[in-house]
Amino acid sequence: DGSEAAKRRAAEAATKEVVDGMVVGLGTGSTTAYAIRELGRAVDAGLDVRGIPTSYQSRSLAREVGIPLTTLDDATPDVAIDGADQFAAGDLVKGGGAAHAREKVVDASADRLLVVADESKRAARLDHPVPVEVLPDAAPTVEAAVRDLGGDPTLRVATRKDGPVVTDNGNVVLDCAFGAVDSPTDLAGGLSAVPGCVEHGLFVGLADAVYVGGADEEVTVER
């Protein structure tokens, strides 16, 4: 459908920034998956790159398409390519895939973070529920702290598994509805200070470019 084609266009446009010898942070989600597949084709054609995955999903897809992998022990990403649940003026809500803890580490370590998205992710102000990865035993106390910050937390329930979604790190996820966020910086600071919060999905000031796949076969780049 249209949005899949738009996601693919955005991802393939961003992948053009990857040149020989680069180390690439490989984000998680369906939009970034198009970039990972495109990188696999480029590797088949002789491109010399190494990838640093951000989740079980991105690692297994990178292996499937033949991208050589490395880790942050041995390399720093020149570029990271990652998706978003919402973007507004370069700030992001991420975590739809419950991978945002490792994504933020890799994305922030990269010299350039390229976000890839379709138009449905665009917003004037961030108002998407913010995923918060939480130590399982801390869920009740983090829920209370989120309410004190003005949010409404919902434990993310798994499908085809009884109980909550469990992240690659063995934690659970609260989706926290705050409505329109006046200051992403302030809310990010408030969430980071909550004991038991492993990582939240506000990526403030991290994106260097947002590649947006439009309905009209176009890709716009917002810097």
Residue 86 or 194 having the CB closest to ligand DER = 86
Q: Tell me: does residue 171 bind ligand DER (CB under 6 A).
A: no
Catalytic residue, from 4, 12, 64, 103: name it.
Answer: 103
Q: How far is the CB of 94 from ligand DER (least distance, A)?
A: 3
Q: Tell me: does residue 85 bind ligand DER (CB under 6 A).
A: yes
Q: Tell me: does residue 151 bind ligand DER (CB under 6 A).
A: no
Q: Tell me: does residue 95 bind ligand DER (CB under 6 A).
A: yes
Q: Tell me: does residue 169 bind ligand DER (CB under 6 A).
A: no
Q: Give yes or no: 103 in active site.
A: yes
Tell me the Ramachandran region of residue 46: left when phi exceeds 0, alpha when psi lies from -120 to 50, beta otherwise.
left
What is the DSSP annotation of 126-164? --S-EEEEE-GGGHHHHHHHHHHTT-EEEE-B-SSSSSB
Instruction: List the one residue from 3, 5, 17, 30 that touches ligand DER (CB under 6 A).
Output: 30
Maximum separation of any 2 CA atoms in the chain, in Å: 53
Q: Tell me: does residue 94 bind ligand DER (CB under 6 A).
A: yes
Q: How far is the CB of 99 from ligand DER (least distance, A)?
A: 5
Interface of this chain with ligand DER, residues 113 to 142, rule: CB under 6 A: none
Distance CA(86)–CA(50), nearest Å, equals 28
Q: Tell me: does residue 53 bind ligand DER (CB under 6 A).
A: no
| Binding residue ranges for substrate | 28-31, 82-85, 94-97, 121
Length of the chain: 223
Q: In this structure, is the dihedral angle defined by the CA atoms of residues 128, 35, 80 and 134, taken in order, positive or negative?
A: positive
CA angle, 121 as apex, 120 and 124 as ends, to 5°? 105
Distance CA(146)–CA(107), nearest Å, equals 25
Choose one: 43-51, 89-97, 136-144, 157-165; the region binding ligand DER (CB under 6 A). 89-97
Neighbour-count burial for 62-92, b at 16+ CB within 10 Å, e otherwise: beebebeebeeeebebbbbbbbbbbbbebbb
**Residue ranges that bind ligand DER, judged by CB under 6 A:** 27-31, 82-85, 94-97, 99-100, 103
List residues with catalytic annotation.
103
